[in-house]
Structure 1
Amino acid sequence: MSYVLTFAGSNSSVSINYKLAKYTSTLIGDTEVRLRDMSKYPFPMYSQDAEKEDGYSNSLVEFKNEISNAKGLIIAVSEHNSYPSAYFKNVMDWLSRLDVKFLADKKILLMATSNGGRGAIGALEVAEKMITRFQGTVVTSFSLPRFNENFDEQKGITDDELAKVHAEKVSTFVKAIS
């Protein structure tokens, strides 16, 4: 069975990036979408000591397998001080210890949002470099600035121009995974 795996690079229970990812997943069409709330995945901070002493958690292995079996990924990265969150980097570190090419052949819609006017563009740029390092292909990316002004949980993206650009990006991604 083929599906799209969707998640945010945040472990916050109130993540605006998770809200954007969740909304985006509703626009995929007939393809099954699996939405993962990463606040329910409390991965420890990566260290060689932790890896040696405790190995890999079942949830990490399951998450990696879910990525491997997906035909595409929708990832929304959160931004902390112009970079992806430490949580997102940590998850990438753990996954790469299981398999450095854990994103091989994965087509990805990469997104980011923030309440600022730059829309987490710094995190988006860094995350794209990380993803390509692990053999993933970013088909397209989308940045949503001023989340609180441009997003409503019931309606989605409220700014007409941003909604149009987002819809085009989703369409490009859907075509790439078809």
Structure 2
Amino acid sequence: MKILAFAGSNSPSSINKILVEYVAKEFKTQGVEVLDLNDYEMPIYGVAREQQFGVPQKAKDFAEKIDAADLVIMSLAEHNSSYTVAFKNIFDWISRIPGRPHWGDKDIFLMATAPGPKGGINVLEAATARFPYSGGKVVETFTLPKFKDNFDPEKGIVNVEKAKELAYKIGKIKERFELKVNV
């Protein structure tokens, strides 16, 4: 099983990147590649720009990473109750590649975290509603509110209930892929 993981943020100190890297370690035996959105920075999408220059190679490269994966793990940062500009721009560009669904008909473990009590729930709900229309099969979701209170760099998730919830969902995903491999 090949896994692609990334945070929907371009912040060098992204708490969503910390979360996605933490979760990716739980799949270490499956082969995980963690991407940094900063490596896929492109001009802001626009129809005129696309008509003049076409789809950037970095968008095609990002799409190839999705296409090569069996599972996509992403943790979306929330800006003004929605996607970050960095994530949305990549999403917009990959949507313009002819002949492929945006998320490649891949299973997605969708997460979000935030410093506040809602834990990025708005962006999580928006993506959960939107991604199935874009070739993404959201198989599990997870949100971690109050990141600084509930996550310790040495111990991981310190909120017992949230740690149990995450472990359960990771277990379900692993079980799902074991069934796919053995069919």
For the criterion TM > 0.5, the same-fold answer is yes
After superposition, what is the alpha-carbon deviation per residue over 1:51-97, rounded to whole angstroms, capped at 9, x for unaligned?
Answer: 12222222211110110110010011110121121222221111110
Unmatched segments (≥5 aa) in structure 1: none
Three-state SS of the structure 2 residue aligned to 1:45 is coil
Q: Percent identity?
A: 37
Task: State TM-score, norm by structure 1.
Answer: 0.93
Give the corresponding residue for 2:171. 171
Three-state SS of the structure 1 residue aligned to 2:128 is helix
Give the corresponding residue for 2:181. none
Q: Aligned Cα RMSD in Å?
A: 1.4
Q: Distance in 2 between matches of 1:27 and 1:21?
A: 10
Q: Distance in 1 between matches of 2:144 and 2:6?
A: 16
1:26 aligned to 2:44?
Answer: no
After superposition, what is the alpha-carbon deviation per residue over 1:95-114, rounded to whole angstroms, capped at 9, x for unaligned?
Answer: 11014513243111000000
How far off is 1:29 after superposition?
4.3
Q: Is the 8 A contact 1:108 1:173 kept in 2?
A: no
The 5 Å alignment of 1:85-100 reads 85-99=84-98
Q: Is the 8 A contact 2:4 2:66 kept in 1?
A: yes
Q: Distance in 1 between matches of 2:52 and 2:104?
A: 28
Give the corresponding residue for 1:158. 158
Q: Distance in 1 between matches of 2:112 and 2:67?
A: 23
Give the corresponding residue for 1:142. 142
After superposition, what is the alpha-carbon deviation per residue over 1:129-152, rounded to whole angstroms, capped at 9, x for unaligned?
Answer: 221111211001000000011112
Task: State TM-score, norm by structure 2.
Answer: 0.91
The 5 Å alignment of 1:1-178 reads 2-99=1-98, 101-178=101-178
Unmatched segments (≥5 aa) in structure 2: 179-183
Which 10-residue stretch deviates more, 94-103 or 144-153?
Answer: 94-103
Q: Is the 8 A contact 1:68 1:102 kept in 2?
A: no
Q: Distance in 1 between matches of 2:102 and 2:83?
A: 19
How far off is 1:30 after superposition?
1.6
**Regions of 4+ moved over 3 Å:** none
Q: Distance in 2 between matches of 1:39 and 1:115?
A: 22
Give the number of equivalent residue pairs: 177
